[in-house]
A and B are shown apart, each in its own frame.
Chain A
């Protein structure tokens, strides 16, 4: 059986570009929301903490697919109509920002309390304590779980298939419709591409982790 591999490449390439585009923007949004959410979650102000808790609880409790469908199909009826990429980035960003906030919170709370005390003893202001002492130490602890989160995010971009955004998965389905006998090969190839993307991310995060802990572990 002849598998027309070279027919797949152009469409999958286009799909890959869309996947990467959504992934990068969503990741940026998720990282920003994680930082904000995590810091608010450990804030001295109970009101701010409460707000963070609501955000985190809400967007961890609603499945991403449900949120995505809602943002793209239901939100327009409330007056807000978003283009596909924006809807995807918003949904994925909010969802993964919530999970990321918990990672940030955990990492900050995992820094030994003695560090904060030493910073107090040296008369650092609360902001200085966070910026110079706590966060640098929390950052290293955040990297492995964040790396995993990023991989989950890239995998989650496949859900934009549901809002007919032409990502890798969507293009694969189109290919399948045109090349039905090669269904297994197409999806197999798709799986391999996603696997490679994940591998690139883990390698990158691992490198970053090594760089940040040079000498001091």
Chain B
């Protein structure tokens, strides 16, 4: 059932394929963060059309599978627009667009978490809009968002195998190619599982360290809410942004 010799022989190849996975994760994450900003901004726009369009986009993308979105981008887009980007480019754009909708929610929750009194104090001190954002709101909104965003980085990494559907040769597809060559299925797929497990564990631990660092700078977290059925406050953590997490991670 398990051939150690074979397993050792394919391990380097699998580990090398992680490079593509990490790269796709990184770029997908960047696009998601930037795209999320755009969407968050557009969702607050005073122009109704823009607001509705961005909210509609967010709702639509969040409620449809990443796989189908990837197919749409990879197969339909070239037909409609004539541009045929590579599997990698399509992959990171697909990941980026998909997760930008979740990111925009993170941004929105983070901004909402800043108490209204802060805005009022800024106004009372006659800060203009830009100053209010940069000096008062963002410094308070961003720190709680970091752990949540880090969590999404891990989630995006775990989604990279789906990119094999549009022929991007990441880790899972590499393993699949190995099975075609050797007719041995158990070792490649098991090793892929173990690799992902270990990397996700490492990333989670790293994220914990970041979280602990962040907690040192905050005011020790808010008191636990006593409202009976408060929507989405299902986590004991004092991080109101984490409480709104809607993606299983």
By a beta-carbon cutoff of 8 Å, the part of chain A in contact with chain B is 57-58, 60-63, 65-67, 69-70, 73-74, 76-78, 96, 99, 103, 106-107, 109-110, 112, 137, 140-142, 144-145, 148-149, 151-152, 155-156, 158-159, 161-162, 169, 172-173, 176, 181, 183-184, 187-188, 190-191, 194-195, 198-199, 209, 213, 216-217
Contacts and interface: CB of A to CB of B under 8 A. Distances in A.
Interface residues of B, number: 52
Contact of B233 (A74, A141, A148): A141
Contact of B234 (A96, A145, A213): A145
Given A107-B234, A162-B165, A213-B228, 11 more contacts: A66-B196, A74-B185, A103-B234, A112-B226, A140-B228, A141-B234, A144-B231, A184-B80, A194-B64, A194-B65, A199-B63
B161 A144 contact: no
Interface string B191-213: 01100110011001000000000
A141 B226 contact: no
B189 A156 contact: no
Contact of A96 (B66, B161, B248): B248
Interface stretch (B27-35, B67-75, B114-122): B67-75
B165 A58 contact: no
A63 B232 contact: no
B228 A191 contact: no
Contacts of A216: 228-229
A154 B221 CA distance: 35
The SS class assigned to the A binding surface is: helix
Interface in B220-249: 224, 226, 228-236, 246-249
Interface of B: 1, 60, 63-69, 71-72, 75-76, 79-80, 158-162, 164-165, 172, 176, 179, 185-186, 188-190, 192-193, 196-197, 200-201, 204, 224, 226, 228-236, 246-249
From B68, B160, B176, B234, name the one whose CB has the most chain A CB atoms within 10 angstroms. B234
B224 A112 contact: yes
Contacts of A78: 1, 186
B224 to A, nearest CB: 7
Contacts, number: 148
A155 B193 contact: no
A152 B248 contact: yes
14 contacts: A58-B197, A61-B201, A65-B161, A66-B172, A66-B192, A96-B248, A137-B228, A155-B65, A159-B67, A172-B71, A183-B79, A184-B76, A187-B75, A187-B76
Contacts of B189: 66, 69-70, 73-74
A121 to B, nearest CB: 18
Contacts of B197: 58, 61-62
Contacts of B236: 106, 109-110
Closest 8 CB pairs of A and B: A198-B63, A99-B248, A184-B76, A158-B65, A155-B65, A74-B189, A63-B158, A77-B186
